[in-house]
Amino acid sequence: MIEITIGAISRPMEAKKNKTGDWGTEYPIVDVEKCSGCRSCEMFCPDLCVEVVKENKKKYAVFNYDYCKGCGVCAFVCPENAIRMEVKEIYKLEVE
């Protein structure tokens, strides 16, 4: 019998089981006021983990941190400079 190695993709949608959100050292945060809802971040995210939602006529980007690897592409392509990358707490160094 063949064993499947953890992380191997052998069936459609199997990658969803592997939450990759803890791979990165940074994560994106959106400034909802600055966001125009243009969807550039949604289109360019290599991991399909940005969704632009609409709430009370305001559109803004929402991130799925379960799969976001913190690559920063969304922040790079944002024309409104509405996304900033924040270093995760566990990677912040204490300087005395």
**Whose structure tokens read 């949604």?**
42
Q: Hey, which residues between 13 and 32 contact ligand SF4 (CB under 6 A)?
A: 28, 30
Residue 72 interacts with ligand SF4 (CB under 6 A): yes or no? yes
Q: What is the rounded distance in angstroms from the CA atom of residue 60 to the CA atom of residue 41?
A: 10
In this chain, which stretch among 4-12, 65-73, 86-94 interacts with ligand SF4, using CB under 6 A? 65-73
Per CB under 6 A, the list member of 53, 69, 88, 89 interacting with ligand SF4 is: 69
Per CB under 6 A, the list member of 63, 66, 91, 92 interacting with ligand SF4 is: 63
Beta strand ranges found along 1-96 (DSSP E): 26-30, 50-55, 58-63, 83-87
Bridge-partner residues for 59, per DSSP?
Answer: 54
